Amino acid sequence: MRKLYRVKKDYDFEYIINNGNTIKSKNFIIYFKTNNFPYDRFGISVGKKIGNAVTRNKYKRKIRAIIDNIKKNFNNQTDYIIILRKNALNKSFSLLSNDLKDMLQKTRKEI
């Protein structure tokens, strides 16, 4: 995923979390809010309770790979904050991919 499509700033994270909508599942929490850009932006957060830095970065890479595979189907001009829950540990890549894809489709209906 190119850096252009990432939410990086703390104030952007806070704004989206405080003012956006929320969808929750067993593996993810997604906050989303429409933006003024002609593309979607994604922010990924993996808390310290998940594991050490190596483990957290591994799951961030997995989530970015999932987003790269499915973002062609989405162009809602929306910012997404994806938070990984501890329940997602040791789940297969395909199961995480299906769950994230289903959740992103639900956000399209709520926008």
What is the residue range of 95's domain?
A: 3-102
Q: Are the C-beta atoms of residues 56 and 50 closer than 8 Å to each other?
A: yes
What distance in Å separates the CA atoms of residue 9 and residue 27, rounded to the nearest whole number? 24
Tell me the chain's radius of gyration from C-alpha atoms. 13
Per-residue pLDDT tens digits for 77-96:
889 999 999 988 888 999 99
User: Is this model's pTM higher than 0.85 or not?
Assistant: yes
Is 111 part of a structural domain of the chain? no
Is 108 part of any domain?
no
Number of domains in the chain: 1
* Residue 109 in domain: no
Here the CATH number for the domain that contains residue 44 is 3.30.230.10
pLDDT of residue 39: 86
pLDDT tens track for 43-78:
999 999 998 999 999 999 999 999 988 877 777 788
At residue 106, the pLDDT reads: 86
Helix (H, G, I), strand (E, B) or coil at 8: coil
